[in-house]
A and B are shown apart, each in its own frame.
Chain A
């Protein structure tokens, strides 16, 4: 396929169509409504299911039912809508169904705004729904990656009978850049041996997330955990930039990681030996890679478009092996490369300690609303 100028939301929707998605259920919410609109046109065109639900609550439960039939299914939403879906997501996780959900994250909490944010990290990565479950979370930093990760999400969801999120942000969803769509895959015809399709000539099947017997529930929890360690073993994905000789490391995902790359390049031009680790799977997190880096660099700078939600994971993984600093923008503010460059210079010029709270240090030098 040729490269075309594509908007992120349309690109993710079309990528799903070409990955053979059989049903889409959704509800309008900015900044991802273009996915719903694209699907409303495309899905009937290719003879597949599109339905605009009455709410995100209904959408996720329609998806739950559709996933029970063993079909390849998805929805998309943005932060407040994803909050509403948490009940259904927990049930889907408990029933061990493959489901893909795109979250085009916006500023929050509450109604917040419609600007790009990464404030859903904790809700998505650490599971906003009840009970023990572990979702796969993919974080694109470009329209091309949004396409590729949408396709990958379906394959991973089905491989592990798991929830797979594409956690983009408003800027990935809304911006246009050249990208290449995949070839149209044929729709998968066969159904897995657990699918509920009507007991025609076979024993009946039941799909449920209820285990009243606590021993059975515990075994289920254990099975999910075991499966998660398989995911951690096989599916960690990340991009690294200039890390071979790096003395300092910036870590950021999605748009924050992309802006950080500009800053890293500018710092390299100034002769600073700094590199970037950009997690593509924020869950499973590239913990072994980060851990190894922490043992050989002088300091790590975490950059996020939230108040340091991934920071907590980084600190947990680094275990004091080197100083960790944080720079965040919140509430829908996207950092400029210059802000991050300034932070990189700080890393190299100041005496840093592995003790104390990086978030509090950042708060002391940070002026909310600055630089706009």
Chain B
């Protein structure tokens, strides 16, 4: 009887991008932060800019984003990442500076800093995670919370008469003359994840080309605070969030239009 093992051939089909560290994730199961992190890391690898990249982490669930990227990183005060990124970029204009911010950070407490960074045409890249809720503090209403959406601080649902309307950051920032690239994408299925990666690549390409402020808003899931399974949370993005936050190119500098990756 032949007892030898069958000959096997291994083939690498999937690798951790070199711009990601091997730190275990602290994010909740089903959260799309991990997907967003990976897409950024893949883009840094593909563009061979990992060593030149300097990230600015926000306050919120992604406060520890710097644990996962094998790049230089700083940790900003809540909402102030665009100002901090401005300081870095002005001193080191040949480095690739990006912020990673959630909706509370960017659209609430940091509204002034993001608006003026865009207005100045600050040559930085912003990855904006919109999951319509405050994650780290346990599920309070965000500026991007949908009308009627229940949160721990809008327990009867967001009443727009009392609590106002969702803020559409990509649309608002695209109006700025200083913005070179502003789009919204979603992370709810593989097709949209591929489109999100292309957008992130284009945003970093915009910075490399000195085209001014670039931002990719990413619709993201928060199963823990939405009180949903991960699968239901992804479905909720497609069914509830996308109609409110359309996945569009709001501003694309002409020289970026023809780029193919």
Contacts and interface: CB of A to CB of B under 8 A. Distances in A.
Interface stretch (B73-81, B219-227, B234-242, B248-256): B73-81
Contacts of A64: 76-77, 80, 83-84, 87
Interface stretch (A66-74, A217-225, A269-277): A66-74
A66 B90 CA distance: 8
Interface stretch (B5-13, B50-58, B142-150): B50-58
Given A54-B116, A61-B77, A204-B72, A197 B83 contact: no
Query: Which size class do A's interface residues fall under?
Result: 35 or more
A25 B74 contact: no
For chain A, what secondary structure do more than half of its interface residues adopt (helix, strand, loop), or is it mixed?
Answer: mixed
Contact of A55 (B69, B76, B77, B112): B112
Question: Among the interface residues A53, A73, A199, which one has the most CB atoms of the partner chain B within 10 A?
Answer: A199
A25 B85 CA distance: 13
Question: Among the interface residues A49, A58, A65, which one has the most CB atoms of the partner chain B within 10 A?
Answer: A65
A53 B83 contact: yes
A210 B62 CA distance: 13
B206 to A, nearest CB: 19
A65 B84 contact: yes
B86 interface: yes
Query: Which size class do B's interface residues fall under?
Result: 20 to 34
B87 A63 contact: yes
Given A64-B76, A210-B75, 13 more contacts: A23-B90, A57-B112, A62-B86, A62-B87, A64-B84, A65-B87, A68-B88, A199-B51, A200-B51, A205-B73, A206-B66, A207-B73, A210-B63
* Nearest 3 Cβ contacts at the A-B interface: A65-B87, A208-B75, A65-B84
26 contacts: A22-B91, A23-B90, A25-B87, A53-B83, A54-B112, A54-B116, A58-B83, A58-B113, A61-B80, A61-B113, A64-B87, A65-B85, A65-B86, A65-B91, A73-B87, A197-B92, A198-B51, A198-B92, A199-B51, A200-B51, A200-B52, A204-B69, A204-B70, A206-B73, A206-B75, A208-B75
Interface of B: 50-54, 56-57, 63, 66, 69-77, 80, 83-88, 90-92, 95-96, 112-113, 115-116
